[in-house]
Structure 1
């Protein structure tokens, strides 16, 4: 995109424009009931013009923000939705639910789902991992009854904590890189801080919030489930293989990318090149979906029913409902890009940095400001890390203390998720939440995780300094 023409606006006016824009957006979605996709696009254009982006450039900025977000999300959501529907509609989710309930017991089903989500969220990004976990959550919720919130909110907390704090997720990885922190130490500190944070601010808080929604039904986004006879269901280890395969492929890529960065292998190394081809999240999911079609659907049914047309319809049914989600997610990215191009977050961060706050608090608050201003946790963590890097270098912070600063910044990047965050719309729509419900669940849990993680990271920083 060409350089954007931006008229100067006073800092106070920019902040006021952002506040008014968010308020108008919420009114359009909640009160007027205008579809979120149209609301986000309209408010994005008007906000850009009001904040000083030239009339000739504002549409280009919106399109750029939309396309960048959709480009990153569409493949993950599309492949994840098909994989989820295959697991759901072939009886695979039933198999996993039966085994999980037999092992943990019905009364501990929410904890079992949350622990499974912790492991699944470690190497795979929040949006893709959560979508693949959904059919299992759906099935357990239908089997046991009660509110869907009871089963989904603890898992949301697990995915949020892992996405916010732990490498190889992009936010903490980028912050650690720009600040010169040891990524391995960041992982250790992140888990030390993150596990109690998940248990209290994710799992326990999720159960508490769920009590406010005793009648929340299970969504039917992936289709109405069929109760397959036991002999027609896929084997337990087949399902485990399908679910673990993308994790293994992504881990393969992570290992060789780290080896290449450390100079252990070169760019022309065959294994490194292969890892870049099959180990990216999108390609790992594509390979997994194709194998899932074969292992879960084609082979078990090849002698009992026609395959081609039925499988094609199954994929169509999986993709149709997520098109709206992809569009809303892209529009959220467009709104975030408008707020970024206006410089609102940078203006606030510069003023905060000038106050001379303690390094932990300054990094956390700068990340919070960028999170609120533009929506992306990755951008918030990366930008806050870049701003704080010179101060950290000047202070000659130790390895553990520096890792704690990175975790504190990452904690700030997950707080106060709202309507300019693409994840807000993605998770809310897949869970069947309206906008207000998403604010009262997803946003509350994300903010609680952010503040508690910051508090614990601050303790680590003080002890290590």
Structure 2
């Protein structure tokens, strides 16, 4: 669905957006209205207030909702299946023990974050986070303290890679729009992502985790007792017909570290194949009609890659010592708790989609472009405004690059300065994640946090991460 011609000026649209966010926070935090209901209600009211024609409002609502669900629902569903199998079979414990054995207890958060940086190279933020959840929670249960000490470094790592490093779609699209080299953006973006993550996410997360205590939630991955899921209770009836309940222990032999690592690496390898093939097609090295290339692209599609990983996990983890019926029960228990997460995330996308279609982002960014700031500061501010206005980091990246492309073409910039602009735009697209961002709701619900706590933790971390990346992009700009 295309953006609708703005019915009001930039100031009025900004006031409407600010009022919508304020009403949403009031409904969720004060009235205690369920987040899904509040998001849908405020989306409808915002569409009306922003002047979207009444007949177009249903399409405007489904635009953001369906787009978000299309990318999130399958990833979350398959991801929690993999996570549940790793948890129940003891695979997550094996991986956690190995990480801690190599890095030590004090460096456990750092180890989780570095592992997430590695896995986050080809994998999108939401897919990477959901696959890593059982490992994060296993480590947090073992050592105690706030879940945020262990969860935020990993989540911040996935966010940094997703925003700053090709082959993720945002930086690739921005680089192409500005005429920057994708190869140079990759070579420069990777160390920038690591440094900005270490300063703006890892160090900040350790401060936040010591000040804000969040217990490990048990809704997605229940408490374990010696490798056996404590939810496994069989109700039997004795020979006399009397009902007697007994807990049947199902001891399992934990899988090897190589098996667990193989399961986690499988989606990484498959998605990497997709990335490599698409890069070669774009470069003209291979033809896009090649059958083998299309097949690898299919296998490397994120949803298909996770589906294949689920099947492999069922065979090498679930079926090792249990029947297929047992495995189906495990997967059923994994899917139930994520329904609310998927719906809330989709409705967050709906709210962001309504703000996007209202034209607020274009109106505000158009106003900023005339203020006479330096090009790199202008790029950062426009991207930040778009991020705050409509929520999506990828949309903020691509839209900002398109808005300043003509100015950049006339500026005769060096290759390093072009790459610096891409990174500055990515930095602006990272800061101030809030209630119109579907990723905000994923982190909130996966970590078991209410909206106020998520604003105090995740929003702060995303902002420090983005500001750290912007400072580094400024340094590169000055030497370019």
Give the TM-score, by structure 1 length. 0.96
Contact 2:3 2:358 in 1 (8 A): no
SS in 1 for 2:336: helix
Contact 1:110 1:154 in 2 (8 A): yes
Of 185-194 and 241-250, the range deviating more from structure 2:
185-194
Q: 1:41 matched to which residue of 2? A: 40
How far off its partner does 1:7 sit? 6.7
Q: 1:260 matched to which residue of 2? A: 281
261, 267, 271: which one pairs with 1:250?
271
Q: Distance in 2 between matches of 1:222 and 1:308?
A: 20
Contact 2:4 2:357 in 1 (8 A): no
CA distance 1:191–1:334, shift in 2 (3 Å): same
Q: Distance in 2 between matches of 1:6 and 1:460?
A: 38
How far off its partner does 1:6 sit? 5.5
The CA deviation string for residues 420-450 of structure 1, in whole angstroms up to 9 with x for no partner, is: 0000001110011110111111110101111
Q: 1:410 matched to which residue of 2? A: 426
How far off its partner does 1:224 sit? 2.5
CA distance 1:231–1:31, shift in 2 (3 Å): closer
Is 1:281 aligned with 2:297? Answer: no
Contact 1:4 1:54 in 2 (8 A): no
Contact 2:5 2:359 in 1 (8 A): no
Map 1:79-90; keep pairs closer than 5 Å: 79-90=78-89
Q: Distance in 1 between matches of 2:467 and 2:146?
A: 27
Contact 2:200 2:467 in 1 (8 A): no
How far off its partner does 1:40 sit? 0.6
Contact 1:4 1:53 in 2 (8 A): no
Q: Distance in 1 between matches of 2:119 and 2:404?
A: 31
SS in 2 for 1:395: coil
How far off its partner does 1:5 sit? 6.5
Q: 1:236 matched to which residue of 2? A: 257
Query: C-alpha root-mean-square deviation of aligned residues, in Å?
Result: 1.4
The CA deviation string for residues 16-70 of structure 1, in whole angstroms up to 9 with x for no partner, is: 1111000000000100010111101000000101110111211221012111110
Is 1:431 aligned with 2:447? Answer: yes
327, 330, 344: which one pairs with 1:314?
330
Q: 1:448 matched to which residue of 2? A: 464
Q: Distance in 2 between matches of 1:447 and 1:132?
A: 24
Map 1:51-450; keep pairs closer than 5 Å: 51-214=50-213, 216-220=214-218, 221-228=220-227, 232-298=253-319, 300-301=320-321, 305=322, 307-450=323-466
Q: Distance in 2 between matches of 1:228 and 1:82?
A: 17
Q: Distance in 1 between matches of 2:290 and 2:5?
A: 45
Q: Distance in 1 between matches of 2:444 and 2:81?
A: 19
Q: Distance in 2 between matches of 1:100 and 1:264?
A: 39
Structure 2, unmatched stretches of 5+, are 229-250
Contact 1:332 1:419 in 2 (8 A): yes
Structure 1, unmatched stretches of 5+, are none
How far off its partner does 1:225 sit? 2.4
CA distance 1:445–1:5, shift in 2 (3 Å): closer
CA distance 1:168–1:7, shift in 2 (3 Å): closer
How far off its partner does 1:274 sit? 1.2
Alignment coverage as a number of residue pairs: 457
How far off its partner does 1:109 sit? 1.0
How far off its partner does 1:191 sit? 2.1
Q: Distance in 2 between matches of 1:355 and 1:389?
A: 17
Contact 2:3 2:356 in 1 (8 A): no
The CA deviation string for residues 282-330 of structure 1, in whole angstroms up to 9 with x for no partner, is: 11111011100000111x21xxx4x122211111111111111111111
How far off its partner does 1:226 sit? 3.8
Contact 1:405 1:457 in 2 (8 A): yes
How far off its partner does 1:106 sit? 1.0
Q: Distance in 1 between matches of 2:380 and 2:6?
A: 30
How far off its partner does 1:404 sit? 0.8
Q: Distance in 2 between matches of 1:454 and 1:359?
A: 13
Looking at secondary structure, tell me which structure has more helix per residue: 1
Contact 2:9 2:363 in 1 (8 A): no
Give the TM-score, by structure 2 length. 0.93
Q: Distance in 2 between matches of 1:186 and 1:411?
A: 14
Contact 2:3 2:359 in 1 (8 A): no
